[in-house]
């Protein structure tokens, strides 16, 4: 089991991007609460198993954000299965999930699997293009997706996904305040966090912030996004 209710900060590593042993050590020993392995394109079984093996030298929890069936590797502490709630391409709503469940059958360790409801908000992101997400959403639209996730689908997690760009802090905080008032959802925020101030700001609108791209652009700044008390 993972204790994600206590996570305030996680790093997201992309198997399609090279990372040195030194950088990986710094990430894994940064004090972050967990590492998620995920990304949109170029995610293969070989790349995922290689990265998992390297991360396993360290004690922190490691979660696979499942993005394609062929890259599902056993041995993770947990699996996040994405449901892109605002996808408009029907091919990406439930079909890949049904295919994977058909392929893996009874081998799926369901106790280690959580479904994560994503609301994708950056129209220029790879995940938005792939799933043809409807990103021009008002506060009421996003809150309605959160309510749908909590009350209709009974999901544990809701992920505001700005991948590659920073969301408007007041908007993210308004979503957070509304959904925390009325649901038990655990809220992830991810997108564009590239320094400590941004991480602190976005933590006012999330239970957990996810830090990705900056790892590959400026490792020193990435490490600074870990909250002071954890380092
Ligand atoms: C035997 C064993 C260990 C089994 C466990 C396997 C398991 C978890 C089984 C469950 C079965 C199941 C339901 C699997 C789902 C399979 C699947 C392919 C689902 C599709 C998910 C989906 C909607 C994908 C499209 C969108 C996508 C890529 C989502 C990933 C999350 C995301 C927002 C990525 C964006 O990341 P980012 O870093 O921003 O991307 P880029 O850097 O590339 O831009
Ligand atoms: O890569 P960035 O922009 O930090 O986004 C993190 C994460 O939300 C991507 O799924
Ligand atoms: Mg990424």
Report residues whose beta carbon is within 6 angstroms of any ligand 1 atom. Answer: 12, 14, 38-41, 65-69, 72, 74, 79, 81-82, 84, 92, 96-97, 100-101, 104, 107-108, 113, 118, 125-127, 130-131, 161, 163, 212
* Per-residue pLDDT tens digits of the chain, which is 231 residues long: 899 999 999 999 999 999 999 999 999 999 999 999 999 999 999 999 999 999 999 999 999 999 999 999 999 999 999 999 999 999 999 999 999 999 999 999 999 999 999 999 999 999 999 999 999 999 999 999 999 999 999 999 999 999 999 999 999 999 999 999 999 999 999 999 999 999 999 999 999 999 999 999 999 999 999 999 898
What is the distance between the alpha carbons of residues 77 and 89, in angstroms, rounded to a whole number? Answer: 31
Domain-located, residue 200:
yes
- The alpha carbon torsion through 192, 90, 138, 194 (nearest 10 deg) reads 0
| 164 labelled ligand-binding | yes
Domain with 113, as residue range(s), is 9-224
The two three-digit tokens of residue 168, written as one number: 């408007």
Q: What is the ipTM of this complex?
A: 0.96
- For the chain, the C-alpha Rg in angstroms (whole number) is 17
What CATH number does residue 21 fall under?
Answer: 3.20.20.390
Number of structural domains found in the chain: 1
- pTM, entire model: 0.97
Number of other CB atoms surrounding residue 23 within 10 Å: 16
């Amino acid at each position: 089991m993972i204790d994600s209710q206590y996570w305030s900060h996680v790093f997201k590593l992309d198997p399609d991007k090279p990372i040195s042993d030194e950088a990986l050590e710094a990430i894994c020993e940064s004090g972050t609460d967990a590492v998620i392995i995920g990304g949109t394109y170029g995610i293969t079984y070989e790349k995922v198993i290689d990265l998992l093996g390297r991360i396993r030298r360290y004690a922190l929890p490691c979660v696979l954000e499942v993005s394609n069936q062929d890259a599902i590797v056993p041995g993770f502490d947990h699996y996040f299965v994405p449901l892109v709630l605002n996808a408009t391409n029907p091919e990406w709503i439930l079909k890949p999930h049904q295919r994977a469940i058909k392929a893996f059958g009874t081998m799926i360790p369901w106790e280690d699997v959580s479904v994560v409801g994503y609301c994708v908000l950056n129209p220029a992101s790879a995940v938005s293009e792939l799933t043809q997400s409807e990103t021009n959403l008002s506060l009421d639209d996003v809150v309605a997706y959160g309510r749908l996730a909590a009350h209709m689908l009974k999901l544990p997690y809701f992920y505001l996904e700005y991948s590659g760009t920073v969301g408007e802090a007041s908007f993210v905080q308004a979503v957070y305040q509304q959904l925390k008032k009325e649901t038990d959802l655990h809220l992830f925020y991810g997108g564009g966090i590239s320094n400590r101030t941004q991480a602190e700001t976005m933590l006012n609108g999330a239970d957990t912030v996810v830090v990705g791209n900056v790892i590959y652009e400026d490792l020193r700044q990435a490490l600074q996004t870990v909250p002071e008390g954890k380092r």
